[in-house]
Homo-oligomer: A and B are copies of this chain.
Amino acid sequence: MRIGELSKRTDAPVRMLRYYEEQGLIHSERLANGYRDYEDYTVDRVRQIRGLLDVGLPTRIIKQILPCLNSPRTIHMPYVTPDMIATLEDERDRMAEKIECLTKNHRAINDYLDAVSHEVRTVPAAGDSARPAGQP
């Protein structure tokens, strides 16, 4: 597929697809006329990339991580250097920390929203309802 379709299917700006390619995160063949031509699986790959970016990983890391997550492993096994492994272990641990942080705060927000919705159901007809906006 060409870049426009990929963009539509992944909801990523065309500009970004070219950028990801420049960063070595995705790959394209070229048609006779020079247009980029993507394989179908690129759609999933781009979605994954966007997810990882959104979650705070830089392209530099994503580039290292990706090949270990998508491709048939047997292909990549033999190429893995101790260095790579160390990087992956590091990143895995950092991800664990992030998950913990997110989970904690997610729960906190949830609790807060719960409490608020309680309040809303409990207090509404009460006294000082005179503060519509956020300015104290």
Contact = CB atoms under 8 A, between A and B. Distances in A.
A93 to B, nearest CB: 9
Q: Which of A55, A69, A89, A119 has the most CB of B within 10 A?
A: A55
> So how many copies of this chain end up in the complex?
2
A113 B98 contact: no
Interface residues of A, number: 46
Contacts of A12: none
Interface in A30-86: 48, 51-52, 54-56, 65, 68-69, 73, 77-81, 84-85
Interface of A: 48, 51-52, 54-56, 65, 68-69, 73, 77-81, 84-85, 88-89, 91-92, 95-99, 101-103, 105-106, 108-110, 112-113, 115-116, 119, 123, 128, 131-134, 136
